[in-house]
């Protein structure tokens, strides 16, 4: 029988345990620095924490993946290489990487190490994915959130590399790895610093007219009194275009493929990823539990799969913007 | 140091494109990149048209390259990319690893485009081994990083830097121009043709922030590294890139030509470049700051 692995976020040891205990097949984490794309204060693992997390997961038959998916520069190259070396000694099941130079280093220095191409690698076609396979022997690629269902099916059919897609979490509107909006405004981007719209650049203002959120001084959104306000991710603010104030790029919303698991199974997708290493253990537990139930139901009887109403409600409660979308998988979204 | 004209990022009419390159043929630009890099639905010029333009510009003494699409999603886009790479005459600018792969297999020399994320020497070595003749730095590259890149770049590999124009900052599956017009992308009516320099996006306070250009998002401010040209020359940057605009291109080219061939950049020259421009200029990335920052 075909299977789909459930890959869940571990921003901390409690979140890792929540994911493992709630039915994840694998968890992914990062080291506590800019070597990964969720370089947020108070998040992630040092070597000792990673060891504990790996032991906890492995004792329960759950794999642990390490995201090393930012782009080292000349001044930081050695540090990234050391992170690869350290990962090799800690016993991770795979490294999730984006930088071609660093992947080459990993493939040459640790030839037994399993490599996954990160979503930050921006590989949106089988031609690109097969290139990374030939060059570095990658076993899996995580797809940027830009392809329609038909395009995902076609891609899977034309590569022997396992394909992982995002199933739930905050929605990146741009091709991952090819967005520098954040550094344009704040100086820090996912590629170079592992951060998008970093908290240290956020400023809230409040007066009688309501609240305003700024990112390094740039007004991202304003809210009337009583209107609920979200974190100012810069592509999800309200701006003026052609005299109209609106969510010109995207509204605060989450990606959710809960309704479409049979299509993913049929397309031959290997793994489903839950976004959210920056979220709480409670979020991880909730989402992992729902996705586990949904995947089990789908795998047992894909033809008659229907998501339970309570699953949808539970996910919407923890979603960004409390609504969900299929993103680019649905042509109408594009 | 050579002067390059990047690919046209906007959707101009066939006549405008031909007119732009007719003018460019007699301007002091050394290198020209041709082709559609943003959206595969913009098809008013065929590959044969681009090749015709390429031949004309080559006859005018330019080094000409054909650029490939940056975001490849469909099989038809892959097919077009393969035809461009295997055009049989001109080198290409590979804007995705898929194009690098096809060029390497076919032995076609290529320029590693600005969106390939070349951030370190190991990546440059890989690209050079695969047949890259030149690499274009990512938009957000700082001077400090460039110094490190230049110190240990593979021999024979040229370096190119984007020095003038609105910076392409992001690509999406979604078309933001069609979204603003309440049109589905599949029935966009090619409405981006109405915006020869993109659609302005301002904050609610009226601050010019970004420019929407179909599926591409650009900087609202104009990247302007004119004053850094002497420093770039000292760092061994081989090529500086200007990005096409719908007006004043002749004057912009002449200013940069004077800068790359002259003795330095005077205030008078800088004033000539920005004179009459409504858009603010920026240079923050180069100084390791936010890209939108203006460092005097």
pLDDT digits (tens, 9 = 90+) for A59-112: 999 999 999 999 999 999 999 999 999 999 999 999 999 999 999 999 999 999
User: What's the rounded mean pLDDT across residues A289-296?
Assistant: 97
CB contact under 8 A, B176 and A249: yes
Distance CA B47, CA A315 (A): 47
User: What's the rounded mean pLDDT across residues A294-312?
Assistant: 94
pLDDT at position B155 is 95
Chain A CB contacts of B208 under 8 Å are none
pLDDT at position A317 is 85
A236 DSSP assignment: G
Start-to-end CA distance of chain A, whole Å, equals 33
Best mutation target among B94, B96, B97 (most A Cβ atoms within 10 Å) is B97
pLDDT at position A320 is 73
Name the nearest CA neighbour of B167 among A248, A174, A180, A194: A180
Chain B CB contacts of A133 under 8 Å are none
- Render pLDDT for A110-137 as a digit per residue (tens, 0 to 9): 999 999 999 999 999 999 999 999 999 9
Residue with tokens 């038959």, as numbered in its chain: A61
pLDDT at position B296 is 82
* CA B264 from centre of chain: 24
Chain B CB contacts of A69 under 8 Å are none
User: What's the rounded mean pLDDT across residues A45-63?
Assistant: 97
Name the nearest CA neighbour of A264 among A119, A149, A116, A140: A149
Helices (H), chain B: 14-25, 47-59, 75-85, 97-106, 121-130, 143-151, 176-180, 229-234, 249-261, 267-274
Read off the tokens for B137. 């730095």
Q: At B161, phi and psi to the nearest 5?
A: -130, 140
Strand runs (DSSP E) across A180-322, as ranges? 202-207, 210-215, 218-223, 239-241, 244-246, 254-256, 271-274
CATH class of the structural domain A5-171+253-333: alpha beta
Distance CA B60, CA B64 (A): 10
| A47–chain B nearest CA distance, Å | 26
Start-to-end CA distance of chain B, whole Å, equals 24
Chain B CB contacts of A102 under 8 Å are 120, 122
Name the nearest CA neighbour of A181 among B168, B280, B9: B168
Read off the tokens for B58. 């080559």
Does the CB of B151 have a partner CB in chain A at under 8 Å?
Answer: yes
Does the CB of B211 have a partner CB in chain A at under 8 Å?
Answer: no
- Render pLDDT for B87-109 as a digit per residue (tens, 0 to 9): 999 999 999 999 999 999 999 99
Cβ contacts of residue B28 below 8 Å, gap of 6+? B3, B253, B254, B257
pLDDT band (50, 70, 90) for residue A322: low
Q: What is the mean pLDDT of chain A?
A: 94
pLDDT at position B49 is 98
Q: Other CB atoms closer than 10 Å to residue A293's CB: what's the count?
A: 17
| pLDDT above 70 as % of chain A | 99
CB contact under 8 A, B98 and A128: yes
pLDDT at position A302 is 93
Question: Of the candidates A74, A221, A331, which has its C-beta nearest B149's C-beta?
Answer: A74
CB contact under 8 A, A331 and B291: no
Chain B CB contacts of A77 under 8 Å are 120-122
HEC assignment per residue over A89-153: HHCCCEEEECCHHHHHHHHHHCCCCCEEECHHHCCCCHHHHHHHHHHHCCCEEECCCCCCHHHHH
pLDDT band (50, 70, 90) for residue A1: low
CB contact under 8 A, B148 and A146: no
| pLDDT above 90 as % of chain A | 86
Residue A269: pLDDT above 80? Answer: yes
Residue with the larger pLDDT of the pair A236 and A323: A236
Does the CB of B187 have a partner CB in chain A at under 8 Å?
Answer: no
| A246–chain B nearest CA distance, Å | 9
Cβ contacts of residue A256 below 8 Å, gap of 6+? A167, A168, A315, A319, A324, A325, A326
CB A66 within 8 A of CB A92: yes
Read off the tokens for A41. 């204060």
Residue with tokens 């979490």, as numbered in its chain: A169
User: What's the rounded mean pLDDT across residues A219-224?
Assistant: 96
pLDDT tens string, chain B, 296 residues long: the values are: 999 999 999 999 999 999 999 999 999 999 999 999 999 999 999 999 999 999 999 999 999 999 999 999 999 999 999 999 999 999 999 999 999 999 999 999 999 999 999 999 999 999 999 999 999 999 999 999 999 999 999 999 999 999 999 999 999 999 999 999 999 999 999 999 999 999 999 999 999 999 999 999 999 999 999 999 999 999 999 999 999 999 999 999 999 999 999 878 999 999 999 988 888 999 999 999 999 999 98
Instruction: List, in sequence order, every residue forming a beta bridge with B64; answer none if it has no partner.
Output: B32
CB contact under 8 A, B148 and A73: yes
CB A155 within 8 A of CB A163: yes
CB contact under 8 A, A104 and B126: yes
CB contact under 8 A, A122 and B117: yes
pLDDT band (50, 70, 90) for residue A12: very high
Question: In Å, what is the CA distance from A165 to each residue of A20, A140, A141, B14, B289?
Answer: 20, 11, 9, 39, 33
Residue A321: pLDDT above 80? Answer: no
Q: If you measure CA to CA, which chain B residue comes closest to A148?
A: B73
CA atoms within 13 A on the CB side of B41: 15
DSSP A202-230: EEEEEETTEEEEEETTEEEEEE-TT----
Distance CA B291, CA A230 (A): 25
Residue A175: pLDDT above 80? Answer: yes
Distance CA A174, CA A210 (A): 30
| B143–chain A nearest CA distance, Å | 12
User: What's the rounded mean pLDDT across residues A196-215?
Assistant: 95
Question: Of the candidates A122, A184, A246, which has its C-beta nearest B292's C-beta?
Answer: A184
Question: In Å, what is the CA distance from B283 to each residue of A253, B141, B142, B167?
Answer: 33, 11, 10, 11
**Boundaries of CATH 3.20.20.380 in chain A?**
5-171+253-333
Domains of chain B: 2-167+223-265 (3.20.20.70)
CB contact under 8 A, A180 and B149: no
Q: Residue B276 burial by CB count (10 A; 0-12/13-18/19+): exposed, middle or buried?
A: exposed
Residue with tokens 């339970």, as numbered in its chain: A308
Q: Other CB atoms closer than 10 Å to residue B124's CB: what's the count?
A: 22
Chain B CB contacts of A122 under 8 Å are 96-97, 115, 117
Chain B, window 225-264: residues with a beta carbon less than 8 angstroms from a chain A beta carbon? none
């Amino acid at each position: 029988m075909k299977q789909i692995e459930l890959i869940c976020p571990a921003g901390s040891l409690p979140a890792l345990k929540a994911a493992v205990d709630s039915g994840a097949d694998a968890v992914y984490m990062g080291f506590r620095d800019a070597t990964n794309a969720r370089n947020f204060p108070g998040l992630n693992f040092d070597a000792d924490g990673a060891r504990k997390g790996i032991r906890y997961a492995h004792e329960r038959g759950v794999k642990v993946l390490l995201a090393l998916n930012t782009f080292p520069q000349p001044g930081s190259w050695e540090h990234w290489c050391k992170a690869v070396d350290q990962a090799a000694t800690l016993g991770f099941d795979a490294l999730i990487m984006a930088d071609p130079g660093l992947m080459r280093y990993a493939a040459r220095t640790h030839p037994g190490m399993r490599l996954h191409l990160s979503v930050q690698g921006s590989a949106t076609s089988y031609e690109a994915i097969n290139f990374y396979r030939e060059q570095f022997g990658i076993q899996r690629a995580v797809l940027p959130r830009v392809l329609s269902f038909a395009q995902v099916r076609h891609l899977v059919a034309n590569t022997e590399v396992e394909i992982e897609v995002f199933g739930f979490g905050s929605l990146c509107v741009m091709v991952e790895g090819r967005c520098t909006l954040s550094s344009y405004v704040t100086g820090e981007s996912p590629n170079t610093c592992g951060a998008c719209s970093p908290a240290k650049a956020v400023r809230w203002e409040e007066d009688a007219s309501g609240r305003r959120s700024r990112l390094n001084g740039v007004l991202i959104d304003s809210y009337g009194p009583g209107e609920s306000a979200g974190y100012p991710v810069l592509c999800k603010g309200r701006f003026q275009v052609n005299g109209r104030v609106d969510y010109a790029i995207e509204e605060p919303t989450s990606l959710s493929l809960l309704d479409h698991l049979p299509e993913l199974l049929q397309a031959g997708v290997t793994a489903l990823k839950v976004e959210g290493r920056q979220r709480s253990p409670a979020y991880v537990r909730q989402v992992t539990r729902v996705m586990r139930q949904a995947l089990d139901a789908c795998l047992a009887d894909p033809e008659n799969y229907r998501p339970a109403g309570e699953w949808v409600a539970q996910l919407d409660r923890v979603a960004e913007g409390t609504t969900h979308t299929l993103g680019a998988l649905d042509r109408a979204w594009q | 140091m050579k002067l390059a004209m990047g690919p046209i990022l906007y959707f101009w009419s066939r006549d405008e494109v031909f007119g732009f390159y007719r003018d460019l043929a007699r301007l002091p630009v050394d290198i020209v990149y041709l082709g559609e890099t943003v959206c595969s639905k913009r098809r008013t010029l065929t590959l044969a048209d681009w090749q015709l333009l390429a031949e004309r510009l080559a006859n005018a003494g330019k080094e000409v390259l054909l650029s490939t699409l940056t975001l490849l999603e469909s099989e038809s886009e892959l097919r077009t990319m393969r035809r461009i790479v295997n055009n049989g005459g001109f080198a290409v600018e590979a804007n995705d690893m898929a194009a690098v792969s096809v060029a390497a297999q076919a032995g076609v020399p290529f320029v590693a485009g600005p969106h390939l994320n070349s951030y370190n020497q190991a990546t440059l070595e890989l690209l050079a081994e695969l047949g890259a003749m030149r690499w274009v730095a990512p938009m957000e590259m700082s001077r400090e990083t460039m110094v490190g890149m230049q110190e240990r770049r593979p021999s024979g590999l040229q370096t190119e830097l984007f020095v003038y124009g609105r910076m392409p900052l992001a690509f999406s599956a979604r078309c933001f121009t069609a979204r603003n017009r309440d049109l589905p992308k599949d029935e966009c009516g090619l409405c981006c043709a109405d915006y020869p320099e993109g659609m302005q996006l301002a904050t609610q306070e009226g601050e010019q922030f970004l420019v929407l250009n179909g599926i591409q998002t650009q900087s609202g401010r104009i990247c302007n590294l004119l004053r850094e040209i002497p420093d770039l020359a000292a760092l061994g940057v081989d090529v500086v890139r200007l990005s096409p605009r719908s007006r004043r291109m002749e004057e912009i080219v002449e200013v940069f030509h004077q800068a790359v061939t002259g003795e330095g950049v005077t205030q008078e020259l800088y004033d000539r470049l920005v004179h009459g421009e409504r858009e603010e200029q920026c240079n923050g990335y180069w100084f390791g700051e936010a890209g939108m920052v203006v460092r005097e």
